[in-house]
């Protein structure tokens, strides 16, 4: 991070711009949250990775290792009373604070009109940006970890938002390319 901060004040305009873009990405909530989630998922696949890279790999044993990866991941997804989401958010918050970022959640509204794939914002009625269109991405609002914990507790208790109502569904996090 310190090297990027030094490059940020470089006299070379291209180097400076790239350093700013990389720093902004490294300090963005979307990127850090994805890194934390990927780290968690990959920790479950480590034994499978080692098994598949072995010289004498047995196909039946490899399939058992696949089940050993799928089962814990399914438990994480389907078990509403675990605090794994809150733990991942706390880990992301710590990483962001260490590197000068702030944990943010995407702003969620009933009708998403400023999404990249929104039908409402294109000139031709199709999804995605139309020719010559330059639409803004979603707006982000800062959120305290206590709000994330409270939302996780409501979902765990079954009192979260009604997911059957399409207006209440939350939008997925998006990673924006540089």
Distance, CA of 99 to CA of 116 (rounded, Å): 28
* Beta carbons within 8 Å of 67's beta carbon, 6+ residues apart: none
Q: Which residues on neighbouring strands pair with residue 141, listed in sequence order?
A: 105
How far is residue 171's CA from residue 116's CA, in Å, rounded to a whole number?
11
Query: Would you kindly state where each structural domain of the chain is located, as residue ranges?
Result: 29-106
Strand, helix or coil for residue 169: coil
pTM: 0.55
Sign of CA dihedral 143, 144, 147, 148: positive
Q: Over the stretch 37-91, which tens digit does the pLDDT of each residue have?
A: 999 989 988 888 888 888 888 888 888 888 888 988 888 888 766 688 888 888 9
pLDDT band of 148, cuts 50, 70, 90: low
pLDDT exceeds 90 at position 170: no
Mean pLDDT value across residues 21-44: 88
Alpha helices (H) along 27-136: 29-52, 59-78, 84-98
Closest Cα to residue 22, out of 33, 36, 8, 9?
Answer: 8
Q: Which two tokens stand for residue 40?
A: 């968690």
Q: Judge contact between 100 and 93, C-beta under 8 A.
A: no
Give the H/E segment covering residue 142.
strand 140-142
Angstrom distance (rounded) from CA 94 to CA 158 = 28
- Residue 96, number of CB atoms within 10 A of its CB: 21
């Amino acid at each position: 991070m310190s090297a990027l901060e030094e490059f940020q004040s470089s006299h070379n305009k291209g180097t400076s711009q790239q350093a700013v873009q990389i720093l902004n990405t490294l300090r963005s909530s979307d990127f850090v949250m994805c890194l934390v989630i990927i780290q968690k998922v990959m920790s479950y696949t480590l034994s499978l990775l080692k098994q598949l890279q072995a010289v004498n790999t047995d196909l039946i044993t490899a399939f058992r290792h696949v089940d050993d990866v799928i089962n814990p991941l399914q438990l994480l997804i389907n078990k509403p009373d675990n605090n794994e989401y809150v733990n991942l958010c706390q880990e992301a918050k710590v990483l962001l604070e260490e590197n000068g970022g702030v944990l943010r959640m995407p702003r969620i509204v009933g009708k998403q009109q400023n999404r990249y794939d929104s039908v409402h914002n294109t000139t031709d009625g199709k999804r995605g940006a139309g020719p010559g269109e330059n639409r803004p991405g979603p707006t982000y609002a800062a959120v305290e970890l206590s709000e994330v914990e409270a939302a996780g507790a409501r979902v765990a208790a079954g009192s979260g938002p009604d997911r059957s109502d399409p207006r209440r569904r939350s939008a997925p996090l998006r990673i924006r390319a540089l």
